[in-house]
Structure 1
Amino acid sequence: MKNNRFRMAMFRGWLLAVVLWPALALADLTVASPFTDNAVLQRDMRVPVWGTANAGTTVTVEFAGQKKSSVANTSGQWKVQLDSMVANAEPQVLRVSGSKSQVSFQNVLIGEVWICSGQSNMQFSVDAVPNIKALIPGAKNIRCFEVNRTVAMTAQDSLEGQWVEKHPNSAVAFSFAYFLEQAGDVPVGIILACWGSSSIEAWMPRDMTQTVPHFKTMMDEFDADTATRDRIVSIVEGPKPWSRTDDIFLRRQSNILYNAMIHPLVPYACRGLVWYQGERNTQSMFGMLKEPWFSRNSGMLKYGDTLKAWIARYRKGWGNEEMHFLVVMLPGYFKPLSTGPQMGAEHPTTHSWAWMRESQLKALELQHTSVVNTIDLGDVKNIHPKDKLPVGQRLALLAVREAMGQKIEAQGPMMERVKVQDAQLVVHFAHAEGLKTLDGNAPKAFWLADDSAQWTKAETELKGETVVLSSPKLKKPLYVRYGFAGKPNVNLVNAAELPAYPFRTDTFNP
């Protein structure tokens, strides 16, 4: 009997040790939360792997024939850099060893890694778009890390989520990944970090108060708003799932989405970031409305400079000046602002999303950026249009050209210059090989004005790779706006049937 009791005690002790072993093994070593089983690592660039360990611990990372070591600093932080690797769809093991423990991640691939972020149109489900859902059987090596949607008052070092062998449940992110994988024949990893109703300020680190004046005002007000801060803490620490009211309240705040959902990803190696956001910032032209509170943001006119500062700050965080940003232009939609003329969905003076698109195109002033033109897409009444497939296709074209170096036509005609010829204006385009209209009719959505700033529809004629504009109402037209409206009716494309980008040549104040 005594021997049996002894054996049972020994068994319980052994079982307890087995149960506690993972916690004990990890006590002196952690690896950053973006690293899990099924991960995709970025090809053709150095790959940082990082985490924490007891100060002075030598940490060794082994992967794909490489063996790199680092010593944890006095703060317990360590990081190694794996050398650049070629794409590989064969599963491999990533091992991280400390002085007393080892962590292994199975089934790791090497390919193209992109972060897909933004608000509700990035979150928009695959199941809601039948022609994207139909792509699922043809998807091969596409994996996703979906970041748990939450907030934090301060920048966090870890987040919730894991890599899975499944496509992202985002229509835009999945279709982008699908066509990218098809074109490059490489594994594609998507890190999905998006949340509906969020402004760009929601995804901005606090230190951007030093570079973006209106953001400093917002954060100063946030710091002084004890009621809001207390409510945020109460929601986060309270029961889940959150009510819809609380969920919306959280995602419309500034900075705290970045703290919880982006900061812990830095500096996970990736090719770039796809950004489908802007709707929340279209509720005013000039920004910083007092009411409603969630419209207190950049507005449309300040968005472009804010976007450029945001891109620059992310690149600094990742330590990669060549980190590519693919910005999705807001598609056609019409909800006019009361601050401007009420001239309808196709008129170029209405305060509409036209001004946001102009701001989004400012991203092109930075290197290694692209803007996906969606001026021919959208729904005049629905802020969540279902025509997401062309968005994913066009994103992939730009990524293939920019990231994979393939010489393809990836964008539509862009205004290069406008020449005045007596009573006519001649618009010259880049990316205009095979310039044509989809319906065979004359080009649409061109408007002309002289110094009076009174806009009139232009008579148009397609001549080679130019469009000639005139109007019997104007003796001397000086300025042109194209596709510059909430929901313009456009038909101008190049041989690749990619639409011409909207533009204006005037500097009239809105």
Structure 2
Amino acid sequence: MSTKFALFILLAFNLTLPIHAQKIRVACVGNSVTYGAGIKDRDINSYPSQLQKLLGTNYEVANFGHSGATLLKNGHKPYWEKPEFQRSKDFAPNIVIIHLGLNDQGNNNWPEHKDEFVADYLEMITTYKNLPSKPQVMICKMTPTFSGHHWFEEGMRESFKDIQFKIETIASTANVELIDLHEPLYRFPEYFPDNLHPTKDGAAIIAQKVYTTITGDYGGLQLPKFYGENMVFQRHAPIVISGIANANDRITVHLNTRSASTTVAKNGIWQVTIPAMNAGGPYTLNIQSEESKDIHFNQVYIGDVWLASGQSNMDFKVNQMQSYESVLKDSLSPNVFVLSMDPKVLKGNPFTEKERSLCNTNDYFEYSNWSNTRDETLENFSAVAYAFAYTIQKELNVPIGIICNAVGGSPTQAWISRERMEATHETISMLNDSWFNPLIDTWVSERKSENFGGDKHTNMRHPYDPTFLFDSGILPLVDYNFKGVIWYQGESNAERITLHSRLFNMLVNDWRLHWQKPEMPFYYVQLSSINRPTWGQFRDSQRQLLSIPHTGMAVSSDVGHKTDVHPKQKWIVGERLAKIALNKTYEKSISFSGPLLDYVNIRNDSLEIHFKYGDGLKTVDGAPIKDIEIAGEDKVFVKAMTKIKGNRIIVWSKQIKNPRFVRYGYSPFTEGNLVNKANLPASTFSNIIN
């Protein structure tokens, strides 16, 4: 407990208590969540009971929860009329914790009486404040109602948000402490088997949150897991340094020659901002606390910071790629700093109980140290990400930091936030049922079933479940300023092509929203070549995703493998991503893209194909263009004859009298050989509008 904060509480309440009653009385007012409905042995496992254990013998905690109670006086079961309300007042509390509103969100209450909610809540607060014991009143943002609730899409989703907003307004108006019970539990849907009531573990999170709010004890000074020696902060932008400490502690941060101080908020969160700096380092970073041991780093840097994410081809290690010994000998830079976030469990076969326990958002990732030398961290770092970072560092000559949190086999939906997934019926379906849902690729569903032994009744989340990797791997990073993102993923969504396009749009916009950077660069890799049925069409769909602003795509079809989903020529892929960044983000005059379809003209019995980035069209081997086909209105494709004419291609076939459509590189394993003068390969393309 924060010493100053604890002494303040004890002195304040002891002045109001009779000499013979020195315990601080805490009244937990609420509905079934407070009561502990559905929790086995609720007398010891409900949140008020667990709170009592945390607070200890100087406190007396009482549970005044009533299942189904509404805050609204005109609700279907007003708390005002229940015996617990009177008992809570007779308890003569010194602290009152109110958690109400969940039952008000129903269509039997909210539509008709929502305009009464604020006044009723303010009256309840005043009622408690005016008790002879003059208690401190704290109110709670509601615990989550998850998308599996049968009323979620019947108005509850919208009314829930409305109530949460009103509760924030009420706290400000009444000048009472607001306890956020939503955010910490929103990342643990496994603790809500009926989508509304928490389990014992969920109640423990509530108890901990209330305990820290009452005591100000957050365990002392703490930093995010990715802070460490050799870390890099983003240049040319305000440097935000944040963490957790005990309430009212005084934190002072010294970085290089600059300092900033702040007092820790009652919610335990602190943040300081250092003015923008130019690239440089190493600098010292010292974080001082008046109550805890200081944290000191001898070497941190200012430069550019990138995030690398996706699935196994992004996770593919430096020591696995082609010619890795030469790379580690000739292409290491002391100004490239890497950090890995590695999954603690990822395999075939059933998970053990220990491995199952690691499938939660707090424990799933293991963080490495920052490294800029040939060591285990760097050799096991993403080959694509390192090639990218090395290439841009060589050009920019500033420190480059890069974090990789790619997870093999992970689908796109695992990387999207719950807030975004709850917005559409289609993605809600994926949230509510990830067991062989027809919207989810077969391989993903089979791996989950294999890992969980086919146990469909488990409440555990799988790493491939929607939102899991966002909660565990993205949310912890949103206060860290990244220059941009590189992404290599899609293999686990290749069966559902149009759905993937919607999910990818959702993911990019979602990340930009959470980082509050609407133009954050997002550069991705088009899938390579392999003999899998849908991959040609999938690559073309990825090309069309370039319509998303501030994106770029690196083609990798020419470095694929007929049967190996993990081709080893990763340095080329990383270099191509780097060229995109150097051109688009850093405005360097450098070729960054192979030919991209622009438009197609019909010329009698032939088609004339025009390209962006098509200067110097040629084939890489001097042979005729391979894997190019045309079709008429019936879309029955046949092999085409071709002629390169300047920056255009003329295609025709004697079999097609009135050609309308063309496609290139559509074979799953393509031998397409079209490049431009920079020898960058053309993307798979077609002029069929999907």
TM normalised by structure 1 equals 0.79
1:425 pairs with 2:607: yes
Q: Distance in 2 between matches of 1:54 and 1:442?
A: 70
Q: Give 1:318's aligned amino acid.
A: W
* 1:440 matched residue in structure 2: 622
Q: Give 2:575's aligned amino acid.
A: Q
2:482 is paired with a residue of what secondary structure? coil
Q: Distance in 2 between matches of 1:495 and 1:165?
A: 35
Aligned length: 433
Q: Distance in 1 between matches of 2:424 and 2:536?
A: 23
Query: Could you say if the C-alpha distance between residues 119 and 450 of structure 1 is closer, same or farther in structure 2, counting changes exceeding 3 Å?
Result: same
Q: Distance in 2 between matches of 1:46 and 1:354?
A: 43
Q: Distance in 1 between matches of 2:415 and 2:392?
A: 26
1:152-188 Cα deviation digits (max 9, x unpaired): 5457899744322343622211222221222222222
TM normalised by structure 2 equals 0.59
* 1:124 matched residue in structure 2: 316
Correspondent of 1:260 among 472, 479, 484:
472
1:276 pairs with 2:488: yes
* Structure with the bigger percentage of helix: 2
* 1:397 matched residue in structure 2: 579
Q: Distance in 1 between matches of 2:244 and 2:545?
A: 36
Q: Distance in 2 between matches of 1:52 and 1:35?
A: 13
Query: Could you say if the C-alpha distance between residues 187 and 491 of structure 1 is closer, same or farther in structure 2, counting changes exceeding 3 Å?
Result: same
Correspondent of 2:406 among 184, 191, 194:
194
Query: Could you say if the C-alpha distance between residues 212 and 277 of structure 1 is closer, same or farther in structure 2, counting changes exceeding 3 Å?
Result: farther
* 1:105 matched residue in structure 2: 297
* 2:336 matched residue in structure 1: 142
* 1:290 matched residue in structure 2: none
Q: Which runs of no fewer than 5 residues in structure 2 stay unpaired? A: 1-216, 345-357, 438-447, 453-460
1:407 is paired with a residue of what secondary structure? coil
Correspondent of 1:320 among 494, 500, 517:
517
Q: Offset of 1:27 from its aligned partner?
A: 4.3
Q: Distance in 2 between matches of 1:120 and 1:205?
A: 21
* 1:61 matched residue in structure 2: 253
1:164 pairs with 2:355: no
* 2:233 matched residue in structure 1: 41
Q: Offset of 1:112 from its aligned partner?
A: 2.0
Is the Cα contact below 8 Å between 2:543 and 2:683 reproduced in 1?
Answer: no
1:91 pairs with 2:285: no
Query: Could you say if the C-alpha distance between residues 362 and 255 of structure 1 is closer, same or farther in structure 2, counting changes exceeding 3 Å?
Result: same
1:332-369 Cα deviation digits (max 9, x unpaired): 01122xxxxxxxxxxxxxxx212222332343222211
1:135 is paired with a residue of what secondary structure? helix
1:459 pairs with 2:641: yes
Greater C-alpha radius of gyration: 2
Q: Distance in 1 between matches of 2:510 and 2:397?
A: 32
Q: Distance in 1 between matches of 2:599 and 2:528?
A: 24
Query: Could you say if the C-alpha distance between residues 133 and 270 of structure 1 is closer, same or farther in structure 2, counting changes exceeding 3 Å?
Result: farther
Q: Which runs of structure 2 are paired with 1:360-509 in the superposition (5 Å)? A: 360-507=542-689
1:495 is paired with a residue of what secondary structure? coil
Q: Offset of 1:207 from its aligned partner?
A: 1.5
Is the Cα contact below 8 Å between 1:157 and 1:263 reproduced in 2?
Answer: no
Q: Which runs of no fewer than 5 residues in structure 1 stay unpaired? A: 1-24, 226-231, 237-248, 285-298, 337-351
Q: Indicate the percent of aligned positions where both proteins have the same amino acid.
A: 30
Is the Cα contact below 8 Å between 1:267 and 1:317 reproduced in 2?
Answer: no
Query: Could you say if the C-alpha distance between residues 175 and 454 of structure 1 is closer, same or farther in structure 2, counting changes exceeding 3 Å?
Result: same
Is the Cα contact below 8 Å between 1:32 and 1:158 reproduced in 2?
Answer: no
Q: Which runs of structure 2 are paired with 1:164-313 in the superposition (5 Å)? A: 164-166=371-373, 167=378, 169-221=381-433, 250-282=462-494, 284=495, 299-313=496-510
Q: Offset of 1:262 from its aligned partner?
A: 2.0
Q: Distance in 1 between matches of 2:291 and 2:221?
A: 8
Query: Could you say if the C-alpha distance between residues 46 and 361 of structure 1 is closer, same or farther in structure 2, counting changes exceeding 3 Å?
Result: farther
Q: Distance in 1 between matches of 2:552 and 2:396?
A: 19
Q: Give 2:332's aligned amino acid.
A: A
Is the Cα contact below 8 Å between 2:306 and 2:483 reproduced in 1?
Answer: yes
Moved more, 445-454 or 134-143: 134-143
Q: Offset of 1:330 from its aligned partner?
A: 0.5
Q: Distance in 2 between matches of 1:363 and 1:459?
A: 29
Is the Cα contact below 8 Å between 2:337 and 2:402 reproduced in 1?
Answer: yes
Q: Distance in 2 between matches of 1:364 and 1:85?
A: 33
Q: Offset of 1:54 from its aligned partner?
A: 2.2
Q: Distance in 1 between matches of 2:273 and 2:295?
A: 17
Query: Could you say if the C-alpha distance between residues 134 and 163 of structure 1 is closer, same or farther in structure 2, counting changes exceeding 3 Å?
Result: same
Query: Could you say if the C-alpha distance between residues 219 and 129 of structure 1 is closer, same or farther in structure 2, counting changes exceeding 3 Å?
Result: same
Q: Offset of 1:264 from its aligned partner?
A: 0.9
Q: Which has the higher contact order (CA 8 A, sep 6+)?
A: 1
